[in-house]
Structure 1
């Protein structure tokens, strides 16, 4: 397995759990100094404690029984790796179909790869329903 394969597998597992209402896989993957952006927040979140608070509010509220990671790409730069992909979910809590762009920056740590930066945004299709 390559580094890219490892990181994509970690992310897919975390997304599977997220789409079942469980954010803990992402928390487990996050470094203490993680930063986080999404289109529902006006400001960046700084640190794992702040992210845990946000995810605590969302626990059990996000469900997407059908979801797909599209065209994942990992660029490895020394002890860092940048994962970019599109993510689409259907029949979830946000509507019939939601399309996202995601960037995750991972850093190699003694305990394994950890997310140090997350950025989610809607694609041009955004919240287009019924597709």
Structure 2
């Protein structure tokens, strides 16, 4: 009986430690994303560029195909510098699913310019780099489209 109790307590300790670590990763990833969004909303893409790994891949609705690498992403973002002005935003339903070295963040974004709202779905894949920093390796943006009435 004592052995079973000890095993149960050990399992609870490991489960609790894992849950705490997962919560910590989630908080870190969401904070990184929000900091990049804050810059983006004032026309500064540098937050996302500094978060992106050299081998990042990027999907965006206006693009005919995936962008590969930080150089291509930097070139794509260059024309939008100073052009984006978002009054406020809401990050809805953020969810981080992670392992020791990878994390996937999904969320819905509502950006407001005055009373006009833009609605987006976003998926970001983060990788824990050797230096201990989380970097985006894959981004996918898509507009939220209402279903057409039949």
Do both share a fold (TM > 0.5)?
yes
Moved over 6 A (4+): none
Tell me the TM-score normalised to structure 1 length: 0.90
Indicate the RMSD between aligned Cα atoms, in angstroms. 1.7
The structural deviation recorded for 1:25 is: 0.6
Q: Which runs of 5+ in 2 are unaligned?
A: 1-22
Structure 2 SS opposite 1:2: helix
Post-superposition offset of 1:68? 1.0
Whichever of the two has the greater Rg, that structure is 2
| Greater relative contact order (Cα < 8 A, sep 6+) | 1
Given the alignment of the two structures, is residue 49 of structure 1 paired with residue 71 of structure 2, yes or no?
Answer: yes
Number of residue pairs the alignment of both structures matches? 124
Post-superposition shift, 1:111? 4.5
Larger displacement relative to structure 2 (95-104 or 33-42): 95-104
TM-score where L is the length of structure 2: 0.79
**Mapping 1:1-131, distance limit 5 Å:** 2-91=24-113, 96-109=116-129, 110-125=131-146
Structure with the higher helix share, 1 or 2? 2
Q: How much does 1:124 deviate?
A: 2.3
